[in-house]
């Protein structure tokens, strides 16, 4: 279903040392991404590990070499996210830069700026709306000039929602108003890095609102089309047999940005995003816990205390990850047709997120894609190519029912 969003994009520069650099490779999800690349990067892929601690990079390379002896000569690049000169050198050396270093609002801006200036494709795992909006305002125009594709949220935030909605829309009639609802369920545990990012975002409510307002000043209007992402209200969903709680994460913003960029989503598109909970007491408890976490995140001392309990770089062990799973179910309707679809996989926060990030980076590096540049979503930048990659990698996109 990929549509060619035509923007002037210079040809990729052949003078780069690497096809792909993974920055933050020694963190929890960074190491999982490195392991995935060690096993699945194509022969001839010129990739490298980057981070601020040479010793930890060397130990990671040893682990990767045990998985794949070809990794024995994997280049190691030292760079700190706050060192502008080092980051610019890193971006100039590669065609694609993937980063797992968060919270991105603290550690991500230099990398995005460097990639936008160098014409380097960029992917990350952010779920922070403030960061994405600030990067759009600061770097979208420059990236369109240089041909860089800046693709945020290439993990569980927000690939299942974005490509799941894209997949669902492709099954509905074209040229008519469309409505899609997404329902998320998961059994996974969070890592220290994810907790730090979530608490940082929760504690920056005013900054997040200000960034969204500023983005709206720069974002082009949609003549003749309407795209909406209302929060919705808690309700019982007969379609999924669960309680649906509004989930105001980055996901619905990404879905509606894809819809705004791609006319296939129709002249009037609406998307709503929910957490899906089977039992009402659990739903009520989850709502209360989220409210408590949001309140605590406003108090710096409480936020630091919570972060200290789960240090970045730590996370669930392999046995726990092997038992984890996720599903995102979609109900789409329009033009007299209704369809139920589902995206599902294993451990969402780490195993599958590492897979999504790695495949997104490889997709940008090697696949024939629409001629786009600037800040993009996964559906707009990669669409069918990434959907195909993820299906082959074991993430399931299926039609559950059609009416």
Q: In this predicted structure, what is the pLDDT of residue 197?
A: 53
Q: Are strands 178-186 and 268-277 parallel, antiparallel or unpaired?
A: parallel
Question: For residue 4, is it within any domain?
Answer: no
Higher pLDDT, 75 or 200: 75
Nearest alpha carbon to residue 195 among 287, 314, 284: 314
Tell me: the pLDDT tens digits for 280-316?
545 555 544 455 454 444 556 544 555 555 555 556 6
Q: Return the bridge partners of 121, or none.
A: 96
In this model, does residue 343 exceed pLDDT 90?
yes
**Which CATH number goes with the domain that contains 265?**
3.30.360
Q: Is 234 exposed, middle or buried (0-12, 13-18, 19+ CB in 10 A)?
A: middle
Same domain for 122 and 187, yes or no, is: no
144-157: average pLDDT: 97
Residues 6+ apart with CB under 8 A from 123: 96, 97, 98, 99, 151, 152, 154, 357, 360, 361, 364
Is residue 2 assigned to a domain? no
Render pLDDT for 8-20 as a digit per residue (tens, 0 to 9): 444 545 679 999 9
Closest by CA position to 202, among listed 302, 133, 107, 275: 302
Identify the residue with better confidence: 96 or 223.
96
Q: Are both 209 and 285 inside the same structural domain?
A: yes
**Residues 282, 311 within the same domain:** yes
Expressed as residue numbers, the domain containing 143 is 18-155+351-391
- Is the pLDDT higher at 295 or at 381? 381
In sequence order, what DSSP letters do the residues of 318-359 get, joined into one string? HHHHHH--EEEEEEEEETTEEEEEEEEES-TTTHHHHHHHHH
Mean pLDDT across 45-65 = 97
Co-location of 261 and 298 in the same domain: yes
**Distance in angstroms (rounded) separating the CA atoms of residues 292 and 270:** 30
Task: Check whether residue 166 and residue 315 sit in a common domain.
Answer: yes
What average pLDDT does range 362-368 have in this prediction? Answer: 97
**Triad 331, 342, 281: Cα angle to 5°:** 75
Phi/psi zone of residue 322: left (φ > 0), alpha (ψ -120 to 50 degrees), beta?
Answer: alpha
Q: Measure the CA–CA gap between 60 and 27, rounded to whole angstroms.
A: 10
Same domain, 188 and 318: yes
Examine the domain organization and report whether 236 and 282 are in the same domain. Answer: yes
Task: Write down how long the chain is.
Answer: 403
Specify the pairing of strand 268-277 against strand 242-246: antiparallel
Residue with tokens 């060690």: 38
Give 239: exposed, middle or buried? Use CB within 10 Å, 0-12, 13-18, 19+. middle
Instruction: Give yes or no: residues 214 and 319 share one domain.
Output: yes
Q: In whole angstroms, what is the distance from residue 213 CA to residue 76 CA? A: 40
Instruction: Find the mean pLDDT for residues 35-59.
Output: 97
Exposure string (b/e) for 40-70, b if CB count within 10 Å is 16 or more?
ebeeeeebbbbbbeeebbeebbeebeeeeee
Does 225 score more than 90 pLDDT? yes
- Structure confidence at residue 118 as a pLDDT band (50, 70, 90): very high
In a domain, 8, yes or no: no
Specify if 87 maps to a domain.
yes
The answer, yes or no, to whether residue 328 has pLDDT greater than 60, is: yes
Residue 1 within a domain? no
Number of structural domains (the chain) is 2
Instruction: Kindly give the pairing relationship between strand 326-334 and strand 337-345.
Output: antiparallel
| pLDDT score recorded for residue 223 | 87
CA distance 396 to 22: 26
**Phi, psi (degrees; rounded to nearest 5) at 324:** -85, 155
Provide φ and ψ at 76, rounded to 5°: -115, 125
Q: Are the CB atoms for 121 and 97 separated by under 8 Å?
A: yes
Based on the fold, state whether residues 243 and 376 are members of the same structural domain.
no
- What is the reported pLDDT for 7? 45
At 80, list the tokens. 């700190």
One domain, residues 36 and 74: yes
78 shares a domain with 171: no
Q: Are residues 33 and 48 in the same domain?
A: yes
Whether 357 is in a domain gets the answer: yes
């Amino acid at each position: 279903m990929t549509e060619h969003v035509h923007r002037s994009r210079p040809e990729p520069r052949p003078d780069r040392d690497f096809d792909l650099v993974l920055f933050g490779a020694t963190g929890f999800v960074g190491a999982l991404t490195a392991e995935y690349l060690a096993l699945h990067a194509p022969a001839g892929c010129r990739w490298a590990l980057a981070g601020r601690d040479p010793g930890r990079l060397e130990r990671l390379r040893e682990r990767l070499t045990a998985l794949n002896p070809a990794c024995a000569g994997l280049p190691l690049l030292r760079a700190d996210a706050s060192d502008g000169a080092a980051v610019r050198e890193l971006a100039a050396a590669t065609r694609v830069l993937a980063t797992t270093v968060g919270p991105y609002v603290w550690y991500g801006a230099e990398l995005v700026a460097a990639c936008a200036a160098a014409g380097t494709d960029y992917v990350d795992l952010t779920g922070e709306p403030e960061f994405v909006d600030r990067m759009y305002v600061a770097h979208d125009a420059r990236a369109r000039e240089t041909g860089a594709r800046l693709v945020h949220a290439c993990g569980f935030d927000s690939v299942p929602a974005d490509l799941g909605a894209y997949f669902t829309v492709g099954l509905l009639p074209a040229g008519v108003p469309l409505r899609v609802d997404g329902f998320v369920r998961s059994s996974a545990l969070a890592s220290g890095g994810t907790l730090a990012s979530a608490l940082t975002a929760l504690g920056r409510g005013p900054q997040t609102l200000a960034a969204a307002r500023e983005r709206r000043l720069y974002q082009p209007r949609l003549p003749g089309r309407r795209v909406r992402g209302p929060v919705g209200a808690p309700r019982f969903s007969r379609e999924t047999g669960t309680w649906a709680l509004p989930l105001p994460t980055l996901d619905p913003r990404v879905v509606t940005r894809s819809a705004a960029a791609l006319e296939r989503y129709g002249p009037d598109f609406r998307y709503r995003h929910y957490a899906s909970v089977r039992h009402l007491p659990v739903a009520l408890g989850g709502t209360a816990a989220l409210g408590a976490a949001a309140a605590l995140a406003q108090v710096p001392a409480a936020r630091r205390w919570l972060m200290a309990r789960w240090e970045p770089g730590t996370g669930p062990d392999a046995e726990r990850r092997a038992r984890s799973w996720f599903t995102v179910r979609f109900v789409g309707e329009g033009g007299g047709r209704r369809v139920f679809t589902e995206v599902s996989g294993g451990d969402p926060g780490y195993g599958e997120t590492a897979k999504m990030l790695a495949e997104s980076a490889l997709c940008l590096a090697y696949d024939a894609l629409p001629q786009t540049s600037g800040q993009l979503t996964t559906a707009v930048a990669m669409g069918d190519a990434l959907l195909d990659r993820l299906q082959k990698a074991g993430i399931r996109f299926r039609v559950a029912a059609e009416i």
